[in-house]
Amino acid sequence: MPVKHKTPFELIIPECEGDLLQIQDLHFAYPDGHQALRGINLSICEGEKIALVGPNGAGKSTLMLHLNGILGEDTPITIAGLKLEKGNLPLIRALVGLVFQNPDDQLFSPTVFEDVAFGPLHMGLPEEEVRLRVEEALAAVGMDNFGSRLSHHLSMGQKKRISIATVLAMHPQILVLDEPTAGLDPRARRSLINFLRDLPITMLVSTHDLRMVADLFPRMVIMDEGKIVADGQTQLLLKDEDLLLAHGLESLS
Q: Is residue 58 within the footprint of ligand ATP (CB under 6 A)?
A: yes
Q: Which residues contact 156 (CB under 8 A, 6 or more apart)?
A: 103, 183
Q: Which does 203 bind (CB under 5 to 8 A by kind): ligand ATP, Mg ion, none?
A: none
| Min separation Cβ 30 and ligand ATP, Å | 3
| Min separation Cβ 182 and ligand ATP, Å | 9
Is residue 146 classed as helix, strand or coil in its secondary structure?
helix
| Min separation Cβ 166 and ligand ATP, Å | 20
User: Judged by CB under 6 A, which stretch of 13-21, 50-58, 77-85, 103-111 contacts ligand ATP?
Assistant: 50-58
Please pick, from the candidates 101, 151, 202, 234, the single residue that binds ligand ATP as defined by CB under 6 A.
101
Residues 69, 178: Cα–Cα separation, whole Å: 15
Q: Is residue 103 within the footprint of ligand ATP (CB under 6 A)?
A: no
Contact status, residue 93 vs residue 68, Cβ threshold 8 Å: yes
Q: Is residue 62 within the footprint of Mg ion (CB under 5 A)?
A: no
Q: With the CA atoms of 155, 208, 78 and 104 taken in that order, what torsion angle do they form, in degrees rounded to the nearest 10? A: 20
Query: Is 228 buried (19+), middle (13-18) or exposed (0-12) by CB count in 10 A?
Result: buried
Please pick, from the candidates 30, 91, 139, 144, the single residue that binds ligand ATP as defined by CB under 6 A.
30
90 to 129: interface string for Mg ion, x by CB under 5 A: -----------x----------------------------
Q: Is residue 34 within the footprint of ligand ATP (CB under 6 A)?
A: yes
Q: Which residues contact 2 (CB under 8 A, 6 or more apart)?
A: 224, 225, 229, 246, 247, 248
| Strand 96-99 relative to strand 49-53, pairing | unpaired
Residues at the contact surface with Mg ion, assessed by CB under 5 A: 60-61, 101
Residues that bind ligand ATP (CB under 6 A): 30, 32, 34, 36, 54, 56-62, 101
